[in-house]
Chain A
Amino acid sequence: MEETVNQIVRLLQGDYGLSKRAVALLLLQGDEEIFALVEEKDGKETAELIKQILREVKGGGERSPLYRITMVRQRFSEYIAGKVIEEVETKPITISDRLNDLLIHPLWGTLFLLVLLYFGFYQFVGVFAAGTLVELLEDKIFGNYILPPIERFFNWLIPWALLRGLFVGEYGIFTLGIRYAIALLLPIVTAFFLVFSLVEDSGYFPRLALLVDRLFKKIGLSGRAVIPMVLGFGCDTMATLVTRILETRRERIIATLLLALAIPCSAQLGVMMATVSKVKGGILVWALFVFSVFLLIGYLTSRLLPGEKPRFFIEVVPLRVPKLDNVLVKTWTRLQWYLLEVTPLFILASVLIWLGQITHIFDLIIAALSYPVQWVGLPKEVATVILFGFFRRDYGAAGLLDMVEKGAIGGIDLVTTAIILTLFVPCIAQFLMMVREHGWLIAAKIAGFIFPFAFLCGYIARQLLLLLSQFGLFG
């Protein structure tokens, strides 16, 4: 083998940024990217010669070079480690070991997850933040102290009702955009990020990954895919980028589709939970339905998309008591990032809608959207919320929550709309990320599938709920 390496080293002339020896070893291991580089830097002839050498090695009948090189390195590492490491004492079974076993146990682990979801997310985010805090901010502070003076100011400043509408009208920058961002979304998202960062810092997520690995394997995804999925609950755009850690293209496309379709990001998750919590049992129906869609689509795509079966792989990090400053800094950066991203977009949406209203394009779009909305069986007003949803899922969700608070929607219609919104592509940023990672064609295909599919699911959900309500089980 040493002789082969030297042979290849002698053939290499180009500058690779790595030693020639390293390049030769990578070639021996069958690295195609490096081979392409050799063709580029040392010409086709040299590459051809090297290919011949490699073929001879492969024909040698012994174990593959990849295996042998890895083994030599492994042994050498063991040898060094043996020399320099001094184990002072054998490690005792710690509490964290026991806790670890508990968390990945199918029964206890699932129970823990449910408890975490109920107290951490439903009670704290859904009930406390989205109920109590939002009420305080929206009704009391915004409704009584902030908006009235702003409205008075603009009434005084701008005499033309048309222009005034841009700032304080029905869809105005202050009355809608800023109000949604600060009064509705901020408290919910803050609470969610706090819990999320706390759980993340404890090292719980890899255990969760181990726990759901079996389920994921069934739908054709490796346990590693849980990482982007879980991150997706934080931000789908980042998670779409993180799908890069998946090994095969097939896994990446399935994960990207699932992220776009069935994983609501934190901002939406909080608002969605808050919204569907207004109906008795709504949160359960909503969660079950969206999760079933997730499983079904994951299963079907893994059947349709050919490719090698994934293998499980994950690094399990140590469990530790979350560090408060770490959690706070993380919550703060996420919050900052969220507001920076969301506020300009909401303002832009207000401007676009204002322009649309002047040119009557807005009415046209609403009229067009009300067809599928009415086909599903929902009231016409929902079309506006759906339009909001095109900008961002949480913008739509905020609009929906606004409708609920005004008493304009409720019961089955509310849950159905929430389901349709959840299944939408989360936001423009994520769509652009899909384009960046997979190209226009695949991104367009994914979006083209998701929009009609979301309405179809809404239709099915509504029919199911109507059926349930006939038996007195819902609504």
Chain B
Amino acid sequence: MGKSDKIVRQKRSIGARIAEWWNRQKSRSYEAEPQRRVALVGSPNVGKSLIFNRLTGVYVTVSNYPGTTVEVFRGRTYIEGVLYEIIDTPGMYSLFPSSEEERVARRLLMEERPDIVVHVVDAKNLERMLPLTLQLIEADLPVVVALNMMDEAAKFGIKIDTELLADILCVPIVSVVATTGKGIEELRRVIHATASDSSLDQIRPEFGRDSQPDSKAAAR
């Protein structure tokens, strides 16, 4: 693995430079520096790229196919006059990576320190997605959960009590339907509100302390 691991930063071959230039052309570099950064993370095929498109208007190939985003894509948007950089990451199942794309996503979180980490979750498979949410909260990252595909979940007869979920996890939860754009405005609002609320930095609950007894009880 040695060589390929370091591609992201250290190694800048001609190919890398071409690809980077190409990505920049695609996402059209702007003059102003973004003031805040938002990373979109989540398992493959939960709609990160589509939400990215909706937030930034930059088109990234969206497929009904897992694992299509391997590179990191960046786009920009203004929310209430503040310039945000939105980062679309490759899919990850866990903070503990088992493939190159997951490694790329984790490295991004650790090195770029985004102001907000939006965990995009497939509402139909909430239970399978929660372990990553827990890990992100545990890692003290500023998490906002976007419950995507609420329409498909409803079709399957699944209803989710988002308020209760927000109470348990102590993070903001937003329901969205990325394919139609429903809930995207709300997501923008919540991103901005959470990023602007500096007091949250101090009182954000340490997941370990707060919920550990619970998790132990559940384990037994």
CB distance from A325 to the nearest CB of B (A): 11
CB distance from B155 to the nearest CB of A (A): 8
Contacts of B162 in A (CB 8 A): 84
Q: Do the beta carbons of B218 and A79 come within 8 Å of each other?
A: yes
Interface membership of B181, Cβ < 8 A = no
A72-B219 CB under 8 A given contacts A81-B127, A206-B65, A436-B13: yes
Interface membership of A3, Cβ < 8 A = no
Contacts of B168 in A (CB 8 A): 80, 83-84
Q: Which of A26-34, A116-124, A348-356, A364-372 contacts B (4 or more CB under 8 A)?
A: A26-34
Q: Do the beta carbons of B141 and A88 come within 8 Å of each other?
A: no
Point out the residue from B71, B95, B179, B211 that lies within 8 Å of A26, measured CB to CB.
Answer: B95
Closest B residue, CB atoms, query A23: B139
Tell me the bound Cα distance from A359 to B211 in angstroms: 76
Over the window 4-24 of chain B, the binary record of Cβ atoms lying under 8 Å from chain A Cβ atoms (1 yes, 0 no) is 110100000111101100000
Interface membership of A304, Cβ < 8 A = no
Tell me the bound Cα distance from A270 to B104 in angstroms: 34
Tell me the bound Cα distance from A241 to B101 in angstroms: 10
Interface membership of B78, Cβ < 8 A = no
Q: Do the beta carbons of B214 and A73 come within 8 Å of each other?
A: no
Interface membership of A201, Cβ < 8 A = yes
Interface membership of B200, Cβ < 8 A = no
Q: Which of B29-37, B79-87, B107-115, B185-193 contacts A (4 or more CB under 8 A)?
A: B107-115
Tell me the bound Cα distance from A432 to B179 in angstroms: 35
Q: Do the beta carbons of A80 and B165 come within 8 Å of each other?
A: yes
Q: Do the beta carbons of A73 and B15 come within 8 Å of each other?
A: no
Q: Name the residue in A227, A244, A249, A326 with the highest tally of chain B Cβ atoms < 10 Å from its Cβ.
A: A244
Q: Do the beta carbons of B13 and A33 come within 8 Å of each other?
A: no
Main secondary structure of the interface of A (DSSP, over half): helix
Number of A-B contacts (CB under 8 A): 193
Q: Do the beta carbons of B138 and A21 come within 8 Å of each other?
A: yes
Q: Do the beta carbons of B64 and A438 come within 8 Å of each other?
A: no
A201-B157 CB under 8 A given contacts A72-B216, A76-B215: no
A329-B65 CB under 8 A given contacts A433-B15, A437-B4: no
Total contacting residues, chain A, CB less than 8 A: 70
Q: Do the beta carbons of B63 and A200 come within 8 Å of each other?
A: yes
Closest A residue, CB atoms, query B64: A203
Over the window 1-14 of chain A, the binary record of Cβ atoms lying under 8 Å from chain B Cβ atoms (1 yes, 0 no) is 01000000000000
Q: Which of A143-151, A155-163, A313-321 contacts B (4 or more CB under 8 A)?
A: A313-321
Contacts of B103 in A (CB 8 A): 33
Interface membership of A78, Cβ < 8 A = yes
Contacts of B138 in A (CB 8 A): 19, 21-22, 25
Q: Do the beta carbons of B164 and A84 come within 8 Å of each other?
A: yes
Tell me the bound Cα distance from A205 to B63 in angstroms: 10
Closest A residue, CB atoms, query B109: A17
Contacts of B65 in A (CB 8 A): 200, 203, 205-206, 227, 317
| 24 CB-based A-B contacts, threshold 8 Å | A17-B110, A18-B141, A19-B138, A19-B206, A22-B135, A31-B97, A72-B216, A77-B127, A79-B215, A80-B130, A80-B168, A81-B126, A83-B168, A84-B161, A85-B160, A85-B161, A200-B65, A224-B67, A242-B70, A246-B100, A252-B100, A326-B62, A429-B18, A432-B15
* Known contacts A18-B110, A244-B104, then 16 further A-B pairs from the complex at CB < 8 Å, ordered by chain A residue: A22-B135, A72-B219, A73-B131, A77-B134, A79-B218, A84-B160, A84-B161, A84-B162, A84-B165, A85-B127, A87-B157, A202-B64, A227-B66, A245-B67, A317-B45, A317-B64
Residue numbers of A with Cβ under 8 A of B are 2, 16-19, 21-22, 25-26, 29, 31, 33, 66, 70-81, 83-91, 200-203, 205-206, 224, 227, 231, 241-242, 244-247, 249, 252, 314-315, 317-318, 320, 323, 326, 329-330, 333-334, 429, 432-433, 435-439
